[in-house]
């Protein structure tokens, strides 16, 4: 079944091992820039801004990281832009995640493949959540999925990835685990980033939200949304411990979204190794550990060649999952 394949893939992801990149301490970007392939407020935007701030705090870069939001196509607009317009830019990194490898796996970035860019490093994994508006009458995940099972078109779910993307797949995995016979009938509405998806949830345009814990946290803290399930093997620690898992509600669905960066395909080796080294140093820092803890992120420590292989393997795994649940043929 699909969720078993997904569990194996995610288990491998979260157990990532540490790797040091080549020593490139002399590299310093002249005008550091991070592209977030979505509108402000989502996970990619969070990744760019938090990593940029921490790199500067740790003096790993000597200028403020410029964050450019380039939404469209579930990350495809940014990917095509980097490949075609910024292919040799040594100052540029781009936020990526499981959504990126998902879209690549499904051929949703026309003409683009994962080997057209250089994969830099991961900075952790972010467990998926399913949430409803704070005032929603729906109280539990089984309640939501039962409505979906009885009539898949009666429940609309918003997410920050394109149709067939990682946010969409998380809902389908949960629906399949709950016994929804044809998950292709599940009503998923795509927005350019988690922030926009939550806005539509609060406006009453959709019934539920699928995203990641980091992008949901601010809305939870504000009292706007209520998390009805975390797609983790067991409850998270600290302030996230109050959120129930899907598993404890009888739904065998796990979904972890890796977060990291890619760089232009013709970036110089010196610059690439420099960015790999900087992100690796950031990941090992106490400051980043605190950021991970505050945002419910799980460990995933991969840099350079190991991360490149991990992404290639992820693309293959997601192709297999997508075929199994009918997203691609």
Domain edges within the chain? 15-126+257-324, 127-249
Q: How far apart are CA 108 and CA 74, in angstroms?
A: 9
Torsion (CA) 112, 106, 77, 216 in degrees, nearest 10: -140
Q: Percentage helix, strand, coil, to 5, in the chain?
A: 45, 20, 35
Q: How far apart are CA 6 and CA 3, in angstroms?
A: 5
Q: What is the pLDDT of residues 253-301, one digit of tens each?
A: 988 889 999 999 999 999 999 999 999 999 999 999 999 988 888 889 9
Q: How far apart are CA 173 and CA 327, in angstroms?
A: 12
Question: Same fold for the domain at 15-126+257-324 and the one at 127-249?
Answer: yes
Fold of 15-126+257-324: D-Maltodextrin-Binding Protein; domain 2 (3.40.190)
pLDDT for the residue numbered 25: 66
Q: What is the pLDDT of residues 92-130, one digit of tens each?
A: 999 999 989 989 999 989 888 999 999 999 999 989 999
Q: 310 — phi, psi (to 5°)?
A: -60, -45
This prediction's pTM = 0.76
pLDDT for the residue numbered 19: 37
Q: 57 — phi, psi (to 5°)?
A: -60, -35
pLDDT for the residue numbered 166: 86
Beta pairing, strands 117-133 & 208-212: antiparallel
Q: 12 — phi, psi (to 5°)?
A: -65, -35
Fold of 127-249: D-Maltodextrin-Binding Protein; domain 2 (3.40.190)
Q: How far apart are CA 56 and CA 52, in angstroms?
A: 6
Q: 280 — phi, psi (to 5°)?
A: -65, -40
């Amino acid at each position: 079944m699909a969720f078993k394949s997904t569990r194996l893939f995610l288990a491998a992801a979260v157990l990532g091992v540490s790797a040091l990149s080549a020593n490139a301490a002399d590299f310093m970007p002249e005008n550091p820039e991070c592209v977030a392939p979505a509108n402000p407020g989502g996970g990619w935007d969070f990744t760019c801004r938090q990593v940029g701030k921490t790199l500067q705090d740790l003096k790993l870069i000597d200028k403020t990281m410029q964050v450019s939001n380039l939404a469209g196509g579930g990350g495809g607009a940014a990917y095509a832009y980097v490949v075609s317009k910024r292919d040799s830019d040594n100052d540029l990194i781009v936020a990526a995640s499981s959504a990126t490898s998902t879209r690549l796996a499904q051929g949703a970035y026309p003409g683009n493949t994962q080997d057209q860019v250089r994969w830099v490093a991961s900075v952790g994994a972010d467990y998926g959540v399913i949430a409803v508006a704070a005032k929603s009458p729906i109280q539990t995940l089984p309640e939501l999925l039962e409505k979906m099972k009885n009539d898949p078109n009666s429940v609309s779910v918003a997410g920050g990835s394109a149709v067939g993307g990682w946010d969409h797949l998380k809902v389908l995995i949960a629906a399949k685990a709950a016994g929804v016979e044809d998950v292709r009938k599940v009503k998923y509405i795509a927005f350019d980033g988690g922030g926009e998806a939550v806005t539509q949830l609060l406006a009453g345009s959709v019934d539920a939200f699928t995203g990641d814990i980091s992008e949901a946290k601010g809305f939870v803290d504000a009292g706007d949304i209520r998390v009805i399930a975390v797609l983790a093997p067991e409850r998270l620690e600290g302030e996230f411990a109050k959120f129930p898992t899907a598993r404890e509600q009888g739904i065998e669905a796990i979904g972890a979204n890796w977060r990291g960066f890619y760089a232009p395909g013709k970036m110089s080796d010196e610059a690439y190794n420099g960015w790999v080294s900087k992100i690796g140093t950031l990941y090992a820092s106490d400051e980043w550990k605190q950021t991970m803890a505050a945002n419910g992120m799980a460990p995933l420590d991969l840099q350079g060649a190991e991360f490149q292989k991990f992404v290639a393997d992820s693309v293959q795994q997601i192709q297999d999952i997508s075929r199994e649940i009918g997203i691609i043929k």
